[in-house]
Amino acid sequence: MIATRDLRELASFTAVKAPVLSLYLDTDLSRNPKDQVKLTLRELLERARGIDAPAEDLQEVARYVDLEYDWQGKGLILFSCLADGLWQPLPVPVKVRSEVYVGDKPYLTPLTNLLDQYAPYSVALVGQEGARLFLIDMGGIVREEDTIGEPIKHHKQGGWSAPRFQRHMEKHADANLRAAAEATARFCNANGCTRLILAGTEENTAHFLDLLPTPMRQAVVGTMSIDASAPDSTVVERSREILAELEDRRELELVDRLITARHAGGPAATGLADTLFTLQEGRVLTLLVEEGFVAPGYVCPDCDYLSIDEAEHCLFCGAANARPVRNIVEHAVHKALQQGARVEIVRAGTPLTEAGRIGALLRY
């Protein structure tokens, strides 16, 4: 799957000889038969033809889906500008909303949102004999590892030896969990994973948390109570539910920070005009954009200043002949990514809506 550095490379691409065709296609055959998906593709490509998509790109996209796409993923994201050497098909294992866009840059807002929603994380499914470790990316398990220690037996008879046997088993269970905690830290570090969910009984996960190294304890974002032998599908489904709830809360916290800082005169900007200005100054730390927000604007041909108003001369460099664009918000997303800022796509209906549907937490 695409990495952050690849996303920034796409963000820095600007078409010169011909516009970029950006395609998002729902290819989930469990929801729609292949013929229906191909019909949707034809309709999208016809729509793209009507907004000046190059014929060679339209033909190559159709050929790729017909002859090369393996139909294993639930979605296809594709960027094409053959005249300028861009061809980037990205099959993804999660569903996407079918849409097409033609412009001088790849349409990255839906991809940015997808990467944010399905960022990688780990799950440690803990039992007294060890742990099952999962790396989950884009909604699926991409790596799995078991750490199994000494089997834990239960004494079924009474008598003087029962307490001693129980202490013996508790000692082995503790050793198993300690070994699993160390293995979990290695697993997460090796895979660059900064979010960890603990699964198992409440007693086991609580003890396991105490055994984790301090950096790993700080990476734990939630716990869930499931059986240690739960199937992989349950692990993925339940962990996704936890992360979705966490993501909702995190979005609201970010929006609250933005609004509070703006009202206090702190390092924040809200509304399209002010946010575009701070982007040009290079001060944006985190760009917040409401999902679905589109607005027209203008781009300076010399310094790339983004504006919502047509002006005789650029506010920053004085150049004339600013170029009109259909979606200045997408250009803002590109500029933020190029500058190394974090981009957060926020669901509609939060206080960000009343603040202008876009804003930025600033570096200073």
Identify the CATH number of the domain in which residue 282 sits. 3.30.1330.30
* Residue 305 is assigned to a structural domain of this protein: yes
Same domain, 185 and 209: yes
- The pLDDT score that the predictor gives to residue 205 is 95
Could you say which of 230, 265, 300 is where a domain stops?
230
Query: Shortest CA distance to 331 belongs to which of 3, 22, 103, 78?
Result: 103
pLDDT tens for each residue of 296-321:
999 998 999 999 999 889 988 999 98
Question: Residue 140 sits in which domain range?
Answer: 121-230
Q: What is the pLDDT of residues 78-99, one digit of tens each?
A: 999 999 999 999 999 999 999 9
Going by pLDDT thresholds of 50, 70 and 90, the confidence category of residue 165 is: very low
**Mean pLDDT, rounded, of the chain:** 92
**Structural domain includes residue 199:** yes
Whether residue 155 has pLDDT greater than 60: no
At residue 129 the predicted structure's pLDDT band, cuts being 50, 70 and 90, is: confident
Work out the average pLDDT over 127-152.
85
77 and 174 both lie in a single domain: no
Q: Exposed e or buried b for every residue in 26-54, given b needs 16+ CB within 10 A?
A: bbbeeeeeeeebbeebeebbeebbeeebb
Tally the domains of the chain: 3
What CATH number is attached to the domain comprising 44? 3.30.960
Q: Does the structure show a pLDDT above 50 at 334?
A: yes
Task: Work out the average pLDDT over 21-30.
Answer: 97
Give how far Cα 197 sits from Cα of 113, 132, 217, 228, 245, Å: 22, 12, 10, 14, 13
Domain contains 241: no
Percent above pLDDT 70 for the chain = 92
Do residues 22 and 77 share a domain? yes
What pLDDT, on a 0 to 100 scale, did the predictor assign at position 1?
61
Q: Same domain for 286 and 216?
A: no
Residue 235 belongs to a domain: no
Q: Are residues 211 and 273 in the same domain?
A: no
Please determine, for residue 162, whether its predicted confidence score (pLDDT) is greater than 90: no
What's the CATH number where 145 sits? 3.30.420.60
Same domain, 100 and 170: no
Verify that 269 and 345 share a domain, yes or no. yes
Q: DSSP per residue over 242-278, as a string?
A: HHHHHHHHHHHHHHHHHHHHHHTT-SEEESHHHHHHH
- Same domain for 177 and 146, yes or no, is yes
Q: Are 254 and 288 in contact (CB under 8 A)?
A: yes
Domain C-terminal end among 107, 142, 167: 107
223 and 270 fall within a common domain = no
Q: Is there a single domain that holds both residue 327 and residue 255?
A: yes
Q: Is the pLDDT of residue 191 over 50?
A: yes
User: Looking at the structure, do residues 264 and 358 belong to the same domain, yes or no?
Assistant: yes
> In the predicted model, is pLDDT for residue 157 greater than 60?
no
Is there a domain that residue 114 lies in? Answer: no
Angle at 73 between CA 71 and CA 78, to 5 degrees: 85
pLDDT band at 343 (very low <50, low <70, confident <90, very high): very high
Residue 115 in domain: no
Average pLDDT over residues 45-73: 96
pLDDT for 121 equals 96
Q: What is the DSSP letter of 286?
A: E
| Residues with Cβ within 8 Å of residue 32, at least 6 apart in sequence | 26, 40
Where does a domain end: 107, 135, 168? 107
Q: What is the mean pLDDT of residues 46-68?
A: 97
Position 346 in a domain: yes
DSSP reduced 3-state for 358: strand
The 10s digit of each residue's pLDDT in 205-253 is 999 999 999 989 999 999 999 998 899 999 999 999 999 999 999 999 9
The token pair at 307 is 């504006």
190 shares a domain with 130: yes
Q: Look at residue 224 and tell me if it is in a domain.
A: yes
